[in-house]
Amino acid sequence: MSGRFITLEGSEGAGKSTNVDTVCETLTEAGIDFVRTREPGGTPMAEALRDAMLHKWDESVDGITELLLVFAARAQHLSHVIRPALAAGRWVVCDRFTDATFAYQGYGRRLDLEKLAALESWIQGELQPDITLYLDVAPDVAEQRIAAREKDRMEVERRDFFVRVRQGYLDRASEHERFEIIDAGNPLQEVQAEVRLKTSEFIRRARRG
């Protein structure tokens, strides 16, 4: 069986970290060899670019700077981690990928979607995730969940920013069949059961070829 590329997406507070664990447990139980990684990040240099992107600078950060930092990190991540793993037949579980760029920089920052699409095809070529689990949650629910934690530069954005981000994800989901939308407003155990189910179904399909 060849490698498969699984991504998880969702706004902050949707429970991504928790549910990436669930995907990885399901793969381990199925005896699948995988690499767990994240974006922005996944290599030492890409993690440094992540730090630069999320840092609260004393100057404002231009949306284009943010966009190019994300794609610079992605180029490094693709060439050092994602492509080699897939080429070796390993599965890749990635916490966020380019759908996040469309949602946050495209819809959130209102950058030109055609320019994003051009960068996507330049940096990734034909490569797309095989399945994307999108954890959908209303911004007010998400806000309550992360109220207690220290916030990075993105997390301090206003509610209307996150309303646009959510719309960005929903529009991407309607355009790409690989998306599975999971209602992450439900209690955690229910969300995890759904994530487990979707992952198991995907493994079965992959095994059938």
Q: Does 101 bind ligand Z5A (CB under 6 A)?
A: yes
Q: Which residues make Cβ contacts (< 8 Å) with residue 152, sequence separation at least 6?
A: 54, 55, 56
Instruction: Note every long-range contact of 153-159, with CB atoms under 8 Å and residues 24 or more positions apart, other chains counting.
Output: 153/53, 153/54, 153/55, 153/56, 153/57, 153/61, 154/12, 154/54, 154/104, 155/12, 156/56, 157/108
Q: Does 121 bind ligand Z5A (CB under 6 A)?
A: no
Q: Does 18 bind ligand Z5A (CB under 6 A)?
A: yes
CB of 32 to ligand Z5A, least distance (A): 22
The residue type found at 192 is Q
Q: Does residue 87 contact residue 136 with C-beta atoms inside 8 Å?
A: no
Residue whose CB is less far from ligand Z5A, 12 or 91? 12
CB of 128 to ligand Z5A, least distance (A): 15
The token pair at 97 is 């990928």
Cis peptide before 40 (omega within 30 of 0): yes
Q: Does 14 bind ligand Z5A (CB under 6 A)?
A: yes
Residue whose CB is less far from ligand Z5A, 41 or 206? 41
Q: Does 95 bind ligand Z5A (CB under 6 A)?
A: yes
Helices (H) and strands (E) in the chain, counts: 9, 5
The residue type found at 93 is V
Q: Does 129 bind ligand Z5A (CB under 6 A)?
A: no
| Residue in 32, 49, 70, 93 binding ligand Z5A, rule: CB under 6 A | 70
Residue whose CB is less far from ligand Z5A, 3 or 10? 10
Which residues of this chain interact with ligand Z5A, rule CB under 6 A? 10, 12-18, 39-40, 70, 95-96, 100-101, 104-105, 145-146, 154-155, 184, 186-188, 191
